[in-house]
Amino acid sequence: LNPNSESVVPWAYDQFDTWLKEALLDGRYEDINHYEEKAPHAREAHPWLEHFYPLHVAMGSKLIHHSWSLGTLSYASYQFTTTAT
């Protein structure tokens, strides 16, 4: 985290966040389950696992907002939907 910068660190945006967004939108949930081995810069992006695990609850959601702050904080918002059966 860099409170003195509004620019996004390249590994956070170009690599980890892009990988995560594509994995979510492509439905690659097993890759997300094993993100520590699959995602670039996984430990830098999420050094504390409790900050990443809640995403597993949201798998299958729709991206509705995405912005950045403090160099490495991604403010991504996903919408939960249901599938009619």
Structural domain that includes position 45: 10-60
Closest CA to 21 of 44, 39, 46, 47: 39
Is residue 35, in this structure, part of any structural domain at all?
Answer: yes
Is residue 77, in this structure, part of any structural domain at all?
Answer: no
Rg (CA), the chain: 13
Reported as a single tens digit per residue, the pLDDT across 8-48 is: 888 877 899 899 999 988 888 899 889 999 999 988 888 88
Is residue 34, in this structure, part of any structural domain at all?
Answer: yes
Is residue 18, in this structure, part of any structural domain at all?
Answer: yes
Reported as a single tens digit per residue, the pLDDT across 61-82 is: 778 899 999 888 888 887 876 6
Is residue 85, in this structure, part of any structural domain at all?
Answer: no
pLDDT at residue 82 in the model: 64
pLDDT at residue 39 in the model: 93
Is residue 49, in this structure, part of any structural domain at all?
Answer: yes
How many structural domains are present in the chain? 1
Is residue 41, in this structure, part of any structural domain at all?
Answer: yes
